[in-house]
Amino acid sequence: MVVDATIARDGRALIDPRLRALDADVRLPRTQTEATTDVRYFKAAGYDRVIVAGPRSTAAAHEAGSPAVTTTGLDAALAAARLRGAH
């Protein structure tokens, strides 16, 4: 899962506790470059399902040609991850 850092927060917490509870590889890019690197890494590693959330991560998946599951925010990304497991 690649989630823009700006939407991965929970109040003052840098990482929403729900992300910590996932059985998935989670990346929280702060910049477009980081998002692109994370999406390309998952693609190169052969992950069959990558979930992205946030404008940077979505743009990175599009740029990389990754068949990522695009979600509109953290809640939707978490729901998608729970459906079948995710990266």
- Going along the chain from its start, the domains and CATH numbers come out as 2-84 (3.40.50)
User: How do the residues of the chain divide into helix, strand and coil, expressed in percent and rounded to 5?
Assistant: 45, 15, 40
Q: What's residue 85's pLDDT?
A: 53
Q: Which residue has the higher pLDDT, 71 or 67?
A: 71
Q: What's residue 86's pLDDT?
A: 52
Q: What is the pTM of this model?
A: 0.88
